[in-house]
Amino acid sequence: MDISTRELRRQVKHFRDHWTTRCMEDSNRFRKMPDLATAIQVAARSETAEGNIENHQRRIGRPTLRKFERKLQRHRKAIHSCRDFKSLHSLINRLRIDGIGELAVYDIAQRIGEYLRVPPKEVYLHAGARTGARNLGFSENRIRVKDLPSSMQQLKPDQIESFLCIYKDCFVGCRKLPRPRGIGCGGGRSGGC
């Protein structure tokens, strides 16, 4: 790891100051969904509060997202029975269709998990978050929070996933910190991933 403890603390503080409110807004939106069918619909279609497609899933396109939503709706009972994020993520990963990659699986599972009140207990790595973790010296697909630098342990696992993605380039020498743009929590929704 090339980054100093002091610099990492500065980046975590910057994340907390500029991004955590956005993360909480995303989480709260799914926690307030009227029922699981609606949560699955909005999550699988990757719809923002304004009805647009989240940046992370924009390339997938509406037809594929809607097809995946229909498949998840058919498995709503199994989704509802998931008692932790690991089983929810595993189920959604097993149900995925062509065009749905690991980042979409995570994002959709995380959104549905908010509705079900089953947040991740570990940091799941994919795409930009994996790059960020590698830039900090981690090579696993999931990281336990207790294995991360102490300054990062004050964040929740889903926030750490966003932090790793948004700040990935800052771990290897960049001095300019990412600036929030748009809405949402993660950089793909707001301008960093």
- What pLDDT, on a 0 to 100 scale, did the predictor assign at position 180? 63
Q: How far is residue 7's CA from residue 157's CA, in Å, rounded to a whole number? A: 20
Please give the full DSSP string across 137-154, using - where no structure is assigned. Answer: T--SSEEEGGGS-GGGTT
In the chain, how many domains are there?
2
| End-of-domain residue from the set 116, 132, 160 | 116
Last residue of a domain, one of 95, 116, 137: 116
Answer yes or no: do 40 and 97 share one domain: yes
pLDDT in tens, 2-50: 578 888 898 999 999 888 777 788 888 999 999 999 999 999 999 988 8
> 168: which DSSP letter?
G
Q: Are residues 132 and 182 in the same domain?
A: yes
Amino acid at 164: L
How does pLDDT run across 172-181, given as a tens digit for each residue?
Answer: 776 666 666 5
Residue type, 114: E
- Where a domain ends, among 75, 95, 116? 116
**CA 125/CA 14 separation, integer angstroms:** 21
Q: Which residues contact 10 (CB under 8 A, 6 or more apart)?
A: none
Instruction: Give the range of the structural domain holding residue 70, as residue numbers without chain letter.
Output: 30-116
Does the predicted TM-score (pTM) go above 0.75?
yes
Residue 122 backbone phi and psi in degrees, to 5? -125, 170
